[in-house]
Amino acid sequence: MKNQDVIARIAEISKANPGNLMARHFNADYFTSLNDADQQQLLKICASGTQNPDSSMGAYAMNPNDYDRFAPQLDPMIRDFHGINADIPIKQEHDWDTSRNICDLGAIDARLKDVSMRVRVARNASTFPLPGAMSKQQRVEFEILASSAFDELIKNPEYGGQYLSITPGSPNEISADEYASRVGAHQMFKDMSADPYLNVAGISGDWPYGRGMYVSKDEDFLVWVGEEDHLRIMAMQSGGNLNAMFARLATGLEILGQLLPPFATSPTYGNVTSCPTNLGAGMRASLHMKLPNLTSGGTDLSQLKQEAKNLGLAVRGAGGEHSDAGSDGLVDISPSARLGVTEMQIMQRLYDGAAALWALEIER
Ligand code: ADP
Ligand code: MG
């Protein structure tokens, strides 16, 4: 397609799909002002939303510096998604200090003492292109680099565990059955090659090369390699003590940070991620909660989504993004904001939001 045709196509999408933020904010004047190489790069960034009109963001960065390099196009989209007005400077601060907040879900209701809790941060190495632009060789190279960091974690008695690879021929390669069972256990990521949004962006390219997961011996600290970002570093626990889980992530992240090349950051947007929705803290903290009354027994998420939105929370099905609720009303709730909020604020929002949703649930 010629560039003029792409511009026309994006204009059509913005009319038919007002939720597509790339199309909504596509700046044709800015685009035309760029040289050929920059135009090509920007079209690659916007390809997912151009070929998938129903995208909600519609763009993925290809290189760590894309957000700063193409700010005239990307900044308005980022602000729209994260709810930051044009006249307010974006400021990403960090706070991992758990001593000031007490976030024990059991204090809301004894029935919330054993929910499944997960918190993940997205991180990318500054020394590689982002996953959408990596070659097969770079994917495999990055996995080898990451697994040498995991070797150190495995030697550490606080972590132990193993690295499980799905790269064909890797010394750590696991069987198809084990992969499926780890996906079913909510530990490992799904087959990305089936995802049209990630496909067009190149993020699922060369699947399954360069992909794998570190898991600690207690299975409460995990690291995904080669999903939507180079690394998704997470803690998962069942219980109610959000702070304990958060602290587990903080410590593991600190150790990994010392073993790996510097993570990509932007002076404006904090941690750099493939998807603009994850910029900033790069953190998604979620609970798997059973809310049968608010979901009509798991059959209808629309009302819960509205209530959750008012509380700054997003709702996903129990199998992750784009999945349905469980029949017992099991859903995934997490604070939507990641940029301009600190890590501790995200945890606090999750706690407060869970308390508010639970009050609505038991009142029915
Ligand atoms: P993310 O994009 O934050 O990595 P996804 O929605 O892609 O999250 O989900 C990844 C996996 O994590 C899925 O298997 C999902 O069911 C699981 N998951 C998310 N939150 C929780 C939780 N609180 N407890 C258990 N599993 C969870
Ligand atoms: Mg995801």
Count of all residues that appear for the chain in the document = 364
C-beta of 316 in contact with ligand 1 (< 6 A)? yes
On average, the pLDDT of the chain sits at 96
Residue bearing the CA closest to ligand 1, atom 8: 320
Burial category of 210 from C-beta neighbours within 10 Å (exposed 0-12, middle 13-18, buried 19 and up): buried
What strand order describes the sheet that includes 162-165? 162-165, 212-215, 221-225, 231-239, 115-123, 283-290, 330-335, 313-317
Atom of ligand 1 nearest to the CA of 318: 16
pLDDT tens, position by position, 216-267: 999 999 999 999 999 999 999 999 999 999 999 999 999 999 999 999 999 9
Burial category of 199 from C-beta neighbours within 10 Å (exposed 0-12, middle 13-18, buried 19 and up): middle
What ranges do the domains of the chain cover? 3-82
Which listed ligand is nearest to 182 at the C-alpha? Answer: 1
Atom of ligand 1 nearest to the CA of 287: 23
pLDDT tens, position by position, 188-206: 999 999 999 999 999 999 9
Asked if the 3-82 domain carries CATH number 2.60.120.10, the reply is no
CB 273 within 8 A of CB 60: no
CB 74 within 8 A of CB 276: yes
pLDDT tens, position by position, 231-241: 999 999 999 99
pLDDT band (50, 70, 90) for residue 340: very high
pLDDT tens, position by position, 88-126: 999 999 999 988 777 899 999 999 999 999 999 999 999
pLDDT recorded at residue 323: 85
The single-letter DSSP state of residue 280 is: B
Residue bearing the CA closest to ligand 1, atom 14: 186
CB 313 within 8 A of CB 353: yes
Centroid of ligand 1 to alpha carbon of 320 (angstroms): 5
